[in-house]
Amino acid sequence: MGEAPAFFVDNLQNGFSTGFGLKSKGFETFTDVGDKTFVIGGANCDSASSVGIQIYDKSTGKWVIPTVLGTKPKTCKGHSAILLNEDRIMISIRGSTLDDCIWFLEVDTEYVKEQKKDFGTEVVAWSKGVTGEAEKPVVISGPSGVGKGTLINMLMKEFPSMFGFSVSHTTRAPRGLEKNGVHYHFTERNVMENDIKHGKFLEFASVHGNLYGTSIEAIEAVADSGKRCILDIDVQGARSVRANYLDAVFIFICPPSMRELEERLRARGTETEEQILKRLRNAEAEIEQGKSSGIFDYILYNDNLEECYENLMELLGLGGSAPINQKPSSKVIDPPSNHSVSKINNKMVINCETKEVGNEAKNLIILDVSSLRGGAPGRTRGLNIHAIDLFSDGLNGIHELS
Ligand SMILES: Nc1ncnc2c1ncn2[C@@H]1O[C@H](COP(=O)(O)OP(=O)(O)OP(=O)(O)O)[C@@H](O)[C@H]1O
Ligand SMILES: Nc1nc2c(ncn2[C@@H]2O[C@H](COP(=O)(O)O)[C@@H](O)[C@H]2O)c(=O)[nH]1
């Protein structure tokens, strides 16, 4: 069954009256979800080309400015929007590359519902659609010194095009060879606390006396590169990530014994005696929670490093020959000003009609949304796009774009 498009846009003129008493800048779309109308773009934008959100609550007759989480589309000369599954709005951005064309505004997903409770406000969350087969992020936890970093480095060295590291923020000082932006984003506590307050972090925790956290931007950056994201975070962080509905594989790395853990920490030589003792004290509780909390899908013992690495690879489906990650496409999809979107079962159809003298061309972009995975916080994976050229003389061709 076909469904009518939520609306058609982009043929609006500057100053167009929206019927809601708003002065339009010509970029708005209006999508009804239950009692609410989501106005995307336009009057409340920080600039004419960025995408702002307002909500009109029909039950109260009031306008609400929601807390907006996630990274929003950078520019928008026009867009279309259509409701998908009652909990998210699909946005197609005009004149953008395939990598940047399809976005989702989550309005009532589990993640958004949870954030509404925390913020005590209306909340919406952006999540960009990414093509390719990149798999779920991998969360790796375990006590300090167990070998998480060592295992992750081995994985990234052997499969550089497959895995990308989520660079955390921390208030601790850099160690000898650590580089800002590579190992961590080293930051001031007040700056990080302010960003946390504004919803920029997927999770954060006070670990061994310092603040650590994963920004939503850090995981989005990895997803955008078409790679599988690896997070190295403590148990509290893993618990928050689970609670925040990040669709990920959770792995806990366990030491063979406390004695061995202590030897590794001391041999690494990066902490003072006081810090080592603090990390060891915390390790006992972490191991206890790692084994019993139900947060983790897998527990790996890192006794012999090579064996543990083999087990990790096996668990990530890298036992045989490694699958090649699909690179993000730089193809340009350019829905024209009068493009519209409609929904037919699990397919979204972006209708791009262009009229040239003597040649009327119709270009349909078909987006299969049945295989979408993940979502906010982070990217929506599994985008599957085909373009169909229809000319006046009939069907001309189908191209697979992703
Ligand atoms: N299986 C192993 N056998 C012996 N030494 C190991 C093993 N795995 C890692 N190590 C060593 O233990 C030390 C700690 O490892 P690593 O720095 O990877 O731990 P970590 O879990 O990332 O710690 P942190 O959480 O503090 O960052 C390193 O010197 C590393 O070379
Ligand atoms: N909750 C989070 N924990 C994190 C994050 N980044 C790192 N960590 C954990 O901190 C300890 C100590 O790390 P170190 O580099 O100072 O040795 C370790 O357990 C890491 O897993 C984060 O973003 N969030």
Question: From ligand 1's centre to the CA of 279, what distance in Å?
Answer: 13
Segment 252-263 shows an average pLDDT of 97
- What pLDDT does residue 11 have? 32
208 in the same domain as 334: no
Determine which helix (DSSP H) or strand (DSSP E) holds 292, and give its type and residue range: helix 273-292
Residue with the smallest CA separation from ligand 2 atom 22 is: 213
User: Could you identify the atom of ligand 2 that is nearest to the CA of residue 271?
Assistant: 17
Task: Report the C-alpha gap between 310 and 300 in whole angstroms.
Answer: 11
Per the CB < 8 A criterion, the answer to whether 364 and 352 are in contact is yes
Task: Give the per-residue pLDDT at 135.
Answer: 81
Q: What is the pLDDT of residues 97-129, one digit of tens each?
A: 777 889 999 999 999 999 999 999 999 999 999
Which range of residues forms the domain containing residue 252?
138-315
Ligand 1 centroid – CA 264 distance (Å): 6
The reported pLDDT for the residue numbered 108 is 96
What are the distances in angstroms from CA 331 to CA 140, 243, 258, 389? 34, 36, 53, 15
Q: For the ranges 6-15, 18-27, 218-227, which has the lowest average pLDDT?
A: 6-15
Q: What is the pLDDT of residues 184-210, one digit of tens each?
A: 999 999 999 999 999 999 999 999 999
CA-proximal residue: ligand 2, atom 8 (nearest) = 233
Q: For a substitution probing ligand 1, which of 139, 140, 141, 146 has the most ligand atoms within 8 Å of its CB?
A: 146
Which candidate in 88, 279, 379, 381 is catalytic?
Answer: 279
* Contact (Cβ atoms closer than 8 angstroms) between residue 232 and residue 140: yes
Q: What does the block give as tokens for 339?
A: 């493009």
DSSP per-residue letters across 232-249: E--HHHHHHHHHTT---E
What pLDDT does 293 receive? 82
- Judge whether 321 lies within some domain: no
Tell me the CATH number at 230.
3.40.50.300
If asked whether residues 127 and 142 sit together in one domain, one would say no
Domain closes at, from 252, 280, 315 = 315
Q: Does residue 144's CB lie within 6 angstroms of at least one atom of ligand 1?
A: yes
Ligand located closest to 152 CA = 1
Model pLDDT for residues 317-376, shown as the tens digit of each residue? 887 544 444 444 445 556 665 667 788 878 888 877 655 555 556 677 788 888 888 899
344 and 295 assigned to the same domain: no
Nearest CA to ligand 1 atom 26: 144
Beta bridge partners of 169: 185, 213
pLDDT higher for 90 or 319? Answer: 90
Sort strands 347-356 and 359-368 into parallel, antiparallel or unpaired.
antiparallel
With a 6 Å cutoff on the Cβ, whether 311 touches ligand 1 is: no
What is the per-residue pLDDT for 43? Answer: 43
Residue 142 lies in a domain: yes
Residue 306: its pLDDT value, please?
97
Q: Calculate ∠ Cα 269-203-295, nearest 5°.
A: 85
Ligand 2, CB cutoff 6 Å, lining residues:
144, 148, 168, 172, 203, 205, 207-208, 212-214, 232-234, 236-237
Q: Is 279 among the residues known to form the active site?
A: yes
Ligand index nearest the alpha carbon of residue 147:
1
Q: Is the CB of 264 under 6 A from ligand 1?
A: yes
What pLDDT does residue 300 have?
97
Query: Is residue 30 assigned to a domain?
Result: yes
State the pLDDT confidence band at 4, using cuts at 50, 70 and 90.
Answer: very low
Query: Are 126 and 142 in the same domain?
Result: no
Query: What is the distance in A from the centroid of ligand 1 to the CA of 213?
Result: 21
DSSP state of 346: T
Q: How many domains does the chain have?
A: 2
Across 32-36, 74-78, 87-91, 101-105, least confident range: 74-78
The mean predicted confidence, pLDDT, of the chain is: 83
Domain boundary among 253, 286, 315: 315
Provide the pLDDT for residue 325. Answer: 45
CB atoms within 10 A of CB 63: 15
Determine which one of 175, 189, 266, 281 is catalytic.
175
Residue in the structure block whose two tokens are 């982009």? 10
Residues 273 and 361 in one domain: no
Q: For residues 249 and 314, is the Cβ–Cβ distance under 8 A?
A: no
What is the Å distance from ligand 2's center to 87 Cα?
A: 33
pLDDT digits (tens, 9 = 90+) for 272-318: 999 999 999 999 999 999 998 899 999 999 999 999 999 999 999 88
What's the pLDDT at 364?
A: 78
Q: pLDDT tens, 127-136?
A: 999 876 668 8
Last residue of a domain, one of 288, 315, 342: 315
- 24 and 15 Cβ atoms separated by less than 8 Å: yes
Shared domain for 73 and 142, answered yes or no, is no
User: Does the annotation count 381 as an active-site position?
Assistant: no
Helices (H), 70-138: 110-119
d(CA 140, CA 149): 9
Atom of ligand 1 nearest to the CA of 303: 1
pLDDT computed for residue 17 by the predictor: 40
Cβ within 8 Å of residue 276, ≥6 positions away: 262, 265, 266
User: Which phi and psi angles does 206 have, rounded to 5°?
Assistant: -90, 115
Indicate whether 20 and 120 sit together in one domain.
Answer: yes
What contacts 402, CB < 8 A, 6 or more positions away? 98, 131, 132, 326, 329, 383, 384, 385
Instruction: State how far the alpha carbon of 390 is from the alpha carbons of 123, 352, 354, 364, 399, in Å.
Output: 40, 10, 11, 8, 12
Index of the ligand 1 atom closest to the CA of residue 271: 26
In the annotation, is 94 catalytic?
Answer: no
Q: Ligand 1 in contact with 149 (CB < 6 A)?
A: yes
Q: Is 182 in the pocket of ligand 1 (CB under 6 A)?
A: no
How much distance in Å is there from the Cα of 292 to the middle of ligand 2?
20
Same domain, 81 and 184: no
Closest Cα partner for 14 from 41, 54, 46, 38?
41
Pairing of strands 298-301, 201-207: unpaired
Backbone angles phi, psi at 356, to 5 degrees: -115, 160
Give pLDDT, residue 48: 43
Supply the pLDDT for residue 289.
Answer: 94
Does residue 253 surpass a pLDDT of 80?
A: yes
Give the distance (Å) from ligand 2 centre to CA of residue 261: 16
Q: Express each pLDDT in 22-59 by its tens digit.
A: 444 556 889 999 999 999 986 444 444 457 899 999 99
298, 161: one domain: yes
Query: What per-residue confidence (pLDDT) applies to 334?
Result: 60
Q: Within this chain, do residues 300 and 177 fall inside the same structural domain, yes or no?
A: yes
- Ligand 1 centroid from CA 248, angstroms: 23
